[in-house]
Amino acid sequence: MSTQSTTTPAGNSGDAPRKKMTVPAFRARKGSDPLVCLTSYTAHVARLCDAQCDMLLVGDSLGMVIHGMPNTLGVTLEHMIMHGQAVVRGASKALVVVDLPFGSFEESPEIAFRNAARVVKETGCTAVKLEGGKEMAPTIAHLSRRGIPVCGHIGLMPQAMNTTGGFKTQGRDKDQWEEIIDDARAVEEAGAFAVVVEGVVEPLARKITDTVSIPTIGIGASAECDGQILVFEDMVGLFPRVPTFVKRYGTMQDMMIDAIARYADEVRSRAFPGSENVYGAEAKPDSKAKPRKKK
């Protein structure tokens, strides 16, 4: 796969033609225009987001958002590959990054490479993301030196919820700061092209951004990060309750509930399907439909 940028038409935004995002171009945005990132799990959502986004992340949050799991620990490589394939089909210019799920990369750098290579080959994505700081640095180095670009993920790491005791904001205690900054440095030195900084107090996220030379992508972090990411379904309001760090830019759930209720009413009253929704309908005496021409 070429790392050269290729010009593609603009999407829904009506902007001038934009180049397809590559890993070097993404990395070069450090300290420059904020990077716009969203999760996508399906081809349709990927198509919608692609016009505005620099990165589409096929996050393992799909376990909860799409599959109704209680956390991300049950997500498999097969889940990630299936959704990764869909998102790659829907994206034409954003960088598509696929999460390595829990259990697929921690055992050894070699196993991580085998699984990450499968993800890249079978989905056509450009890069993978994996959770972990210092302890994952050898794995990040192993992958990135062998042609698999890696986005790191530090701070709140959902895959570590059983050891940390849940989804807890990191760095509330200043004694934690040095360790998290060291994680960011280790991920950077290992060759990650960017790092997601999740659920850390704002001044720490800013400090990490000032410390590392790769873009930081914040979620529940700081406006000073080099980019931001949100889970698409949270952002468009598909869930009634969202954490503080999410801003709802839409109320999709309300619109969907309303549409479902109107559909149900019309099915029950036989208002749907109307004559315009069926084939070869005979004009009713009171219908305004034009009579069909005889051949």
Write out the residues near ligand KIV by the rule CB under 6 A. Answer: 39, 57, 59-61, 99, 196, 198, 219, 229, 231
How many whole angstroms separate alpha carbon 91 and alpha carbon 89?
Answer: 6
Residue 141: partners with Cβ closer than 8 Å, 6 or more residues away? 109, 190, 191
Q: How far is the CB of 258 from ligand KIV (least distance, A)?
A: 27
User: Whose structure tokens read 């042609």?
Assistant: 147
Q: Catalytic one among 178, 198, 266, 276? A: 198
Taking the least distance from each CB to ligand KIV, the nearer of 161 and 281 is 161
DSSP 106: S
User: Whose structure tokens read 């990450």?
Assistant: 116
How many whole angstroms separate alpha carbon 205 and alpha carbon 223?
Answer: 9
Closest residue to ligand KIV in the complex (CB): 59
Taking the least distance from each CB to ligand KIV, the nearer of 88 and 219 is 219
| Amino acid letter, 292 | R
Question: Is 198 an annotated catalytic residue?
Answer: yes
Taking the least distance from each CB to ligand KIV, the nearer of 186 and 229 is 229
Q: How far is the CB of 255 from ligand KIV (least distance, A)?
A: 23
Q: How far is the CB of 234 from ligand KIV (least distance, A)?
A: 9
Contact call for residues 39 and 57 (beta carbons, < 8 A): yes
**Does residue 268 sit in helix, strand or coil?**
helix
Taking the least distance from each CB to ligand KIV, the nearer of 113 and 232 is 232
Taking the least distance from each CB to ligand KIV, the nearer of 82 and 261 is 82
Q: How far is the CB of 161 from ligand KIV (least distance, A)?
A: 13
Q: How far is the CB of 181 from ligand KIV (least distance, A)?
A: 19
User: Whose structure tokens read 């005496």?
Assistant: 285
* DSSP labels, 24-90: HHHHTTTTSSPEEEEE--SHHHHHHHHTT-SEEEE-TTHHHHTT--SSSTT--HHHHHHHHHHHHHH
- Phi, psi (degrees; rounded to nearest 5) at 159: -70, -15
Residues recognised as catalytic: 198
